[in-house]
A and B are shown apart, each in its own frame.
Chain A
Amino acid sequence: MTMFLTIAVIVLIFVVIFQIAKASEYVSVLKGEEVSRKQNNKINGFLMIGFLVLGLFGVWYCNELYYGKTLLVHDAASVEGARVDSMLWVTLAVTGIVFILTQIVLFWFAYKYQESENRKVFFFPHNNKLEVIWTVIPAIALTVLVVIGLRNWFLFTGEPPQNAMVVEVTGKQFGWIYRYPGKDGSFGKKYYKNIDNASNSLGLIWDDKLGHDDVVMEQTMYLVKGKPVKLIIGSRDVIHDVGLVHFRMKMDAVPGIPTTMWFTPKYTTKEMKEITGNPNFQYEISCDQMCGNGHYSMKGVIEVVDQEEFDAWMVKQKPYYVQQFPEKDPAAPKAVADTAAKTASVKPVEAAKKAVAKM
């Protein structure tokens, strides 16, 4: 019903516009095209200046409304992200000034130089000096921006500090898998043909002892405040992208080609809740590369905590290998039944079969 009403109203508006448009055309023919053109010119000239004023007001008003909803109202949550922000402000200053000036000049000129009987057009085909000026000035401004940008770029893409922890992130349709290297600090090898959703989500090669203490999990990744972290990023199927808006970082997850990214978290999740005044605040990992119909729901969470809290959490984690082969758990044997029950996704029979095969 509302649908038809809307359509009816639109059609009505169209008809009215059309009638007015036709009428004004007849009038203009009667009045003489010259006269009516001058009238239209006046109106449009006025609208030019009106648009400029309203437009600039709109720019300000839009900022009032939405600035508070951007990330810029709080600090970036990583040390490197703060540099992104400062670079953003410099770029905004440069482009903002150019924007305001050129738009004012454009609409002002349009208004000021609208057709008038007594203006003689200034024949001005070129002027080398002017052209050199507006080639050189942008070039200099851009050089400054490039220098700032590349210093940051080489920092972000360079080697992380020595003390950085390492976490592996793997994208899949539509979720994230994280892996910590465990006590030995190195990851075990993996091969994609070993992947089995139930028992080996990353395709770890069980023969590789380095992998036996690797900790694998989904949903939430834990990081340490103030400790640089290097992410090794990969994908199991199509291209995804690890998007970390609060840390101002982003890197594609490409099947077959591992990528890396590093940053230093500055605030714990708890602190961010206070800073943002949002009790539900989460560091979200958003997939930023179109990866299929569930792309929009491909969410991960990062929990930034203190070192002690992290250590306490890490101690509680069972290596993936042990989860799959409970009988290999070097810890107390009574834990076996415990884990098997907890990891509902692992079918005991299958796990046992695998265990046999590997022996």
Chain B
Amino acid sequence: MSNEAVVHAHGAVATHEGHGDHHHEHHHHETFITKYVFSQDHKMIAKQFLITGMVWAVLGGLMSVLFRLQLGYPDATFPWLEDILGKWAKGGRITQEAYYALVTTHGTVLVFFVLTAGLSGTFANFLIPLQVGARDMASPFMNMLSYWFFFAASIVMLSSMFVETGPFSGGWTAYPPLSALGDASPGSKTGMDMWLISMALFVVSSLLGGLNYIATVLNMRTKGMSMTRLPLTIWALFFTAVLGVLSFPVLFSGFILLIFDRNFGTSFYLSDIFINGVGALPNEGGSAILYQHLFWFLGHPEVYIILLPAMGMVSEILSVNSRKPIFGYMAMIGSLFAIAILAFLVWAHHMFVTGLNPFLGSIFVLLTLLIAVPSAIKVFNWLTTLWRGNIRFTPGMLFAIGFVSLFISGGLTGIWLGNSALDIHLHDTYFVIAHFHIVMGVASMFGMFAGIYHWFPKMYGKYLNNTMGYIHFWVTLAGAYLIFWPMHYEGLAGMPRRYYDYSIWESFKQFVELNRFISTVAMIVFAVQLLFLFNFFYSIFKGRKVTSLNPWGATTLEWTTPINPGHGNWVGEIPEVHRWAYDYGKDGKEFIAQTTPVGADESEHH
């Protein structure tokens, strides 16, 4: 580890440690406001995204606990529910309106606020400058705006919980006409207006962030950091940003048309509608399906926006902790690229039963199943990375391994759903719920946890407590499978999703006990997440101190910065890069940092 930059940075450690008010030779004095609130330091912004994401994760998780209570105990009453929810839980039982509002908000918040902002917002901000060797983002100011737009979106979404007619309740996909007509559902009144405003703000936040990430990766790499020397985290975050920048505007256009239909009497999505109690509406000639095309043109890339950062971090963490290079670096980039392209060409697989032209449907079947090929490549490459490695089970590593397991389980059911003739049967059943929670929801959460455990020492100069990390991991992994695996069987019984109560259905009422079991496990898993949160905040202040610059023995640049890097990241020169990020176990050496020049007697290098 005797490279120049590390030695160089060492001297600065003492002066930087533990002080909130130190300042840097390149930077002006910082006040509390500029340092913690309107910060332009990418590391602080990353932490802001992370902590806001955590708040939403707790709220979103709590919502799922509440609606699981209804599904698990459909006839029971809980008086305390009425105490906290008031009219939304009259008599201690969650009402239909509240149930659908909870499901909708849970979906929206977890997909967008937690797994998009909380995940790529956090790690793109934190890792891109640190791993490409830049002092900050291309535009720190835009970066700050990105967070504050997200914050504003959060506030509006939160306020929508408290409006008289309730928050939006038509599902996170917000299909019109239901989402367009307040008379069709009370949640589509003020609640939906706020939902749309919040989402519009969110789109702005994503675009500001995404453009910044792309510009930084393309233009601000340090000397010697060619694109093919980038760690896979950066490649993944880069493709994530590209996906977001190209697809969020389409979603936005869909929302604009929806706003017009809602407020200005247009008929983009509306036609031939008669509402009970209101009568026939004047709108004619619109297409409700148009919205679905616009929505899923973002919606499908969105699932990869959520997944790719997790994939990137998992690649990195698996390699570091196997003490072995990632297998097939170029194939990993190639498959990320293929996934990013294909992500734009498969959206209509969410619409096989909308009356889609069958020929068009068949093209989407082909492209959808094609996306399984790069996914398979990634899985096999991860497995080979473990093979003949020397694995250290840090909590980060455990979550990375868990990610691979979940990605396999959930990816395989994608092959069922992507085949339209089979999807006719499985669409909108619990099979789909199982599929996307395993492959996207839980797997990306695992990627996020892996990232947090792995980079926490860099973020706060402290370690998270390992024992709590292990408990967190094993309970969550087992719990995730216990919750979502049996849902495949409910799906195979045809049990529809988004049902408040199944007791009137001869075909679906046989799962009472299973539903109760799932709800119980969900509560336990939720409690264990609180344990993680406790560990997180406790360790920020009282955790074991990091004493070495490079605690995991990693090759990448972020570990050449001081233990608590200031704004600007490196003291003095930014180090130069001489090799790729995965020289682990090469020529009998434990690892060779990217900053180490290539030796004369080294075997082939990258």
Q: Which residues of A contact B (CB under 8 A)?
A: 3, 10, 14, 17-18, 20-22, 24-25, 28-29, 37, 40-41, 43-45, 47-48, 51, 55, 58-59, 62-63, 65-67, 69-72, 81, 83-84, 87-88, 91, 94-95, 98-99, 102-103, 105-107, 109-110, 113-116, 119-127, 130-131, 134-135, 138-139, 142, 145-146, 148-150, 152-154, 156-158, 172-173, 192-193, 195, 197, 203, 236-239, 241, 243, 245-246, 248-252, 254-260, 278, 280-282, 284, 286-297, 299
Question: Nearest A residue to B78 by beta-carbon distance?
Answer: A3
Q: Is B286 a contact of A256 with CB atoms below 8 Å?
A: yes
Q: Is B499 a contact of A241 with CB atoms below 8 Å?
A: no
List chain B residues, Cβ under 8 A from A41: 391-393
A-B contact pairs, 9 of them (CB 8 A): A25-B465, A125-B328, A134-B376, A203-B274, A236-B274, A250-B353, A255-B271, A255-B288, A260-B355
B419 contacts A by Cβ under 8 Å: yes
Q: Is B181 a contact of A238 with CB atoms below 8 Å?
A: yes
Q: Report if A255-B424 is in contact (Cβ < 8 Å); known contacts: A25-B466, A123-B325.
A: no
Q: Is B287 a contact of A237 with CB atoms below 8 Å?
A: no
Q: Report if A149-B422 is in contact (Cβ < 8 Å); known contacts: A106-B401, A192-B272.
A: yes
Q: Report if A255-B373 is in contact (Cβ < 8 Å); known contacts: A41-B393, A152-B421.
A: no
List chain B residues, Cβ under 8 A from A295: 100, 498-500
Chain A nearest CB: distance from B112 CB in Å?
Answer: 18
B1 contacts A by Cβ under 8 Å: no
Mark contacts of B495-530 with chain A using CB atoms, 8 A cut-off: 1 yes-contact digit, 0 otherwise: 010111110111110110010000000000001001
Q: Is B358 a contact of A291 with CB atoms below 8 Å?
A: no
Q: Is B96 a contact of A113 with CB atoms below 8 Å?
A: no
Q: Is A120 a contact of B585 with CB atoms below 8 Å?
A: yes
Q: Is B486 a contact of A156 with CB atoms below 8 Å?
A: no
Q: Is A122 a contact of B80 with CB atoms below 8 Å?
A: no
Q: Is B466 a contact of A123 with CB atoms below 8 Å?
A: no
Q: Is B416 a contact of A124 with CB atoms below 8 Å?
A: no
A84-B425, A257-B288 given. 10 additional CB < 8 A pairs?
A: A69-B489, A95-B412, A113-B322, A116-B390, A122-B388, A142-B415, A192-B274, A237-B184, A243-B494, A250-B353
**Bound: A122/B324 CA distance, A:** 7
Q: Is A238 a contact of B419 with CB atoms below 8 Å?
A: no
Contact of B327 among A71, A124, A255 (CB under 8 A): A124
Q: Please list the 9 inter-chain residue pairs (A to B) with the smallest Cβ-Cβ separation, ordered nearest first.
A: A245-B494, A256-B271, A121-B585, A259-B355, A152-B421, A157-B358, A44-B393, A149-B419, A66-B489
Q: Is A84 a contact of B369 with CB atoms below 8 Å?
A: no
Q: What's the tally of chain B residues with a CB closer than 8 Å to chain A?
A: 131
List chain A residues, Cβ under 8 A from B408: 98-99, 102-103, 106
Q: Which residues of B contact A (CB under 8 A)?
A: 80, 96-97, 100, 169-171, 175-178, 181, 184-187, 270-276, 280, 284-289, 322-331, 353-355, 358, 361-362, 365-366, 369-370, 372-373, 376-377, 379-381, 383-384, 386-393, 398, 401, 404-405, 408-409, 412-413, 415-416, 419-422, 424-425, 427-429, 465-468, 470-471, 474, 477-478, 481-482, 485-486, 489-490, 492-494, 496, 498-502, 504-508, 510-511, 514, 527, 530-531, 534-535, 544, 582, 584-588, 606
List chain B residues, Cβ under 8 A from A286: 494, 496, 505, 507-508
Q: Report if A113-B588 is in contact (Cβ < 8 Å); known contacts: A91-B419, A153-B358.
A: no
Q: Is A138 a contact of B422 with CB atoms below 8 Å?
A: no
Contact of B505 among A145, A193, A284, A289 (CB under 8 A): A284
Q: Is B419 a contact of A131 with CB atoms below 8 Å?
A: no
List chain B residues, Cβ under 8 A from A238: 175-178, 181, 184, 273
Contact of A150 among B362, B492, B584 (CB under 8 A): B362
Q: Is A173 a contact of B276 with CB atoms below 8 Å?
A: yes
